[in-house]
């Protein structure tokens, strides 16, 4: 394939992918707004491949799309551009909807307008589309509990009574978002799938779990819980644990995510499918906080009882379908990945 266009390609995932595909495509085009919430300096990230043609602009701007597509006709598009703050999306709903939904439709309209229909689109979606996911009740019957009410959270009723969480799987977990962010990502999925089917374009959707690792933003308070824990521990403070600290999260290392994206870019077997991308291991937030605290000899993490509306209780991927369908598997364990991230953060902070 000749030309790959990546939206949001100067971000955490985009930079990692750009290095991985340097020799896969003749041209790599990136459009990214370099939003100050992620890119403090507003300059081209050093981690971005030198082979990338970077356009600093917003995906919602039809003018920049016409400028890009008049010059470049992408064979493949990797759609990463998105506002990603789960909690932030509740108070900045329009911003999230504009970038995630309107940004996607502006891209698709521009592709048609400029006679630049690609062969394939790969969408980076999120586990947030599942919401609370699927659970088993005391009788062993599966059910979808939906969003936890504000009353539940105020009363500290973190779990669904006498019920057990089941890992998320595209084949049997019905998407039921509990945040504006998750809702916009599910909308992205629907938009991409129906547009691609109408224009005979191949597509693949990846529902990513909690991506972490070197290169993630250290200034964005709405994403990257691990980097937040590191900053607290390095100040010799106790890491506060929201709820009871026993929420499950599936932390998947950045290099594993980039490899998964690269695989589906090239795999015809991935066309028209939705995959869960995670480590397959559900770590409690307490476990992660304890790993970080031990690394920096900080005080033990302590439950603070706070919570965030829109947050889900548990998130863990069932990656069995992904492993069976793709030539891919996660390689980096949580312990190894945490140490690699901490080493990188120490280097960034000059310590």
Which residues are known catalytic residues? 181
3-class DSSP string for 146-211: CCCCHHHHHCCCCCCCCCEEECECCCCCCCCCCCHHHHHHHHHHHHHHHHHHHCCCEEEEEEECEE
Burial of residue 156 (number of CB atoms within 10 Å: 0-12, 13-18, 19+): exposed
For 307-331, b/e burial (b = at least 16 CB within 10 A) is beebbbbbbbbbbebbeeebebebe
Q: How far apart are CA 50 and CA 316, in angstroms?
A: 35
Report whether 204 contacts 133 (CB < 8 A).
no
């Amino acid at each position: 394939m000749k030309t790959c266009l990546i939206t949001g390609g100067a971000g955490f995932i985009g930079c990692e992918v750009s290095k991985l595909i340097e020799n896969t495509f003749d041209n790599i085009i990136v459009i990214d707004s370099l939003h100050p919430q992620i890119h403090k300096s507003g300059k081209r990230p050093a981690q971005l491949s030198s082979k990338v043609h970077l356009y600093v602009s917003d995906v919602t701007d039809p003018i920049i799309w016409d400028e890009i597509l008049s010059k470049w006709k992408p064979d493949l598009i990797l759609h990463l551009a998105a506002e990603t703050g789960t909690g932030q999306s509740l108070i900045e709903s329009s911003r999230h909807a504009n970038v995630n939904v309107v940004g996607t439709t502006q891209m698709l309209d521009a592709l048609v307008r400029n006679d630049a229909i690609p062969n394939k689109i790969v969408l980076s979606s999120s586990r947030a589309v599942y919401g609370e996911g699927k659970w088993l009740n005391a009788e062993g019957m599966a059910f979808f509990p939906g969003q936890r009410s504000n009353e539940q959270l105020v009363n500290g009723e973190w779990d669904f009574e006498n019920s057990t969480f089941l890992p998320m799987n595209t084949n049997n977990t019905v998407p039921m978002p509990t945040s504006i962010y998750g809702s916009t990502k599910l909308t992205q999925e629907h938009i991409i799938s129906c547009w691609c089917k109408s224009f005979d374009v191949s597509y693949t959707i990846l529902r990513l779990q909690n991506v972490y690792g070197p290169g993630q933003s250290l200034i964005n308070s709405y994403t990257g819980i691990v980097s937040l824990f590191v900053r607290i521990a390095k100040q010799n403070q106790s890491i506060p644990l929201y709820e009871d600290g026993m929420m499950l999260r599936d932390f998947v290392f950045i290099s594993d995510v980039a490899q998964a994206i690269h695989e589906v870019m090239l795999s015809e077997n991935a066309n028209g499918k939705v995959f869960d991308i995670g480590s397959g291991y559900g770590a409690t937030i307490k476990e992660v906080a304890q790993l970080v605290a031990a690394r920096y000899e900080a005080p033990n993490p302590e439950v603070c009882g706070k919570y965030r509306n829109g947050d889900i209780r548990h998130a863990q991927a069932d990656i069995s379908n992904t492993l069976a369908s793709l030539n891919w598997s996660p390689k980096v364990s949580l312990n190894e990945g945490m140490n690699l991230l901490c080493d990188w953060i120490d280097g960034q902070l000059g310590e």
